[in-house]
Amino acid sequence: MSLFRRKTRPGVQRTGSSEDTEHLAGFLRSRSGVEAYVEPRTSVTDTTIVLVAADGEWTRRRVNGPQGAATFAKKHGVPLYDAAVVGYPQRMREWNRRQQDR
């Protein structure tokens, strides 16, 4: 028996949920200097938002489209960037590298 249950039909993209939003809000509450990067929808994944803390630690969750990302960022007072335009901050890559070296 699987611990994870599929909540949608196969081939149907899952949109952002309240669990996703709560995870993102929790990340914001527990870290400083957080910025948000919206990632466009792809053929595999719906629109996502990546939160990057001042030290480079990051998290990614689905949101309900670009407007959902904008609403989340505005509500929580964090700057929002388009990842497809500006890319990701260097501190995020450095954090990833440090995690690999562990």
1 pLDDT higher than 50:
no
pLDDT per residue as tens digits for the range 16-44:
678 889 999 999 999 999 999 999 998 88
What predicted TM-score, i.e. pTM, was given to this entire model? 0.83
Number of neighbours of residue 27 by Cβ within 10 angstroms? 17
CA 6 from chain centre, in angstroms, equals 21
8 pLDDT higher than 60:
no
| Segments in 1-89 forming alpha helices (H) | 18-30, 65-76, 83-86
CA–CA distance, 90 with 88 (Å, rounded to integer): 7
> Average per-residue pLDDT in the chain?
88
Q: What was the pLDDT predicted at 17?
A: 77
